[in-house]
C-alpha cells in the first residue's frame, strides 16, 4: 500500500513538474535545499511507518519547519557570504543515511527470519 502510494506520487509528481513553468535561476538554490529537506522527510516517514510510530502532525510539522529553517539558513549564508546551506545538507543527508540504515536492517532481518523459518520447515519435512 505504502509502496504503491509512493510510486503513484512519483509518477504524478513527474507529470506535474514537467508542466510547471520554471522558476527564476536565483531561486533555484532555495528550491534545491527544500528538495533535500523533502527527501529527508520521506525517508524519515518511511522509517517511522516501518517502526509503527508514524505521526502525521510530527511528520508534516517536521517537514515544514526543516524546510523553512534550511531556506532561512541559505538566505543568511548568502547575506554573510558563507555557505551555511552546506551544514543543512550535511545534516539532512546524514539523517537520510541513518534512516536508510534502519530501513535496510528491518527488511534484511525480516528476510533472514523468513529464510530461517523455511529451512526449519524443510528440515522437519526431511526428518
Between residues 49 and 122, which has the closer beta carbon with respect to another protein?
49
Contact 36, 86 (CB under 8 A): no
Q: How far is the CB of 66 from another protein (least distance, A)?
A: 12
The phi, psi pair for 81, rounded to 5°, reads: 60, 40
Q: At closest approach, how far in Å is the CB of 79 from another protein?
A: 20
Which of 48/75 has CB closer to another protein? 48
Query: C-beta of 60: minimal distance to another protein in Å?
Result: 7
- Distance of closest approach, residue 101 Cβ to another protein, in angstroms: 19
Q: Choose between 17 and 126: whose C-beta lies nearer to another protein.
A: 17
Judged by the rule CB under 8 A, the positions of this chain that interact with another protein are 1-2, 4-6, 8-14, 16-18, 20, 22-25, 28, 31-32, 34-35, 38-39, 41-42, 45-46, 49, 54, 56, 59-60, 63
DSSP the chain: -HHHHHHHHHHHHHHHHHTSPPPPGGGHHHHHHHHHHHHHHHHHHHHHHHHT---HHHHHHHHHHHHHHHHHHHHHHHHHT--THHHHHHHHHHHHHHHHHHHHHHHHHHHHHHHHHHHHHHHHHH-
> Nearer Cβ to another protein, position 59 or 102?
59
Amino acid at each position: 500500500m505504502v509502496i504503491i502510494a509512493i510510486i503513484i506520487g512519483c509518477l504524478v509528481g513527474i507529470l506535474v513538474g514537467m508542466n510547471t513553468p520554471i522558476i527564476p535561476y536565483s531561486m533555484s538554490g532555495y528550491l534545491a535545499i527544500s528538495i533535500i529537506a523533502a527527501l529527508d522527510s520521506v525517508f524519515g516517514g518511511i522509517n517511522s511507518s516501518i517502526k509503527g510510530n508514524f505521526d502525521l502532525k510530527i511528520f508534516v510539522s517536521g517537514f515544514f519547519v526543516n524546510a523553512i529553517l534550511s531556506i532561512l539558513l541559505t538566505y543568511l549564508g548568502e547575506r554573510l557570504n558563507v555557505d551555511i546551506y552546506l551544514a543543512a545538507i550535511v545534516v539532512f543527508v546524514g539523517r537520510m543515511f541513518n534512516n536508510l540504515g534502519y530501513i535496510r536492517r528491518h527488511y534484511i532481518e525480516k528476510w533472514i527470519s523468513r529464510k530461517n523459518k523455511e529451512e526449519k520447515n524443510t528440515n522437519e519435512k526431511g526428518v
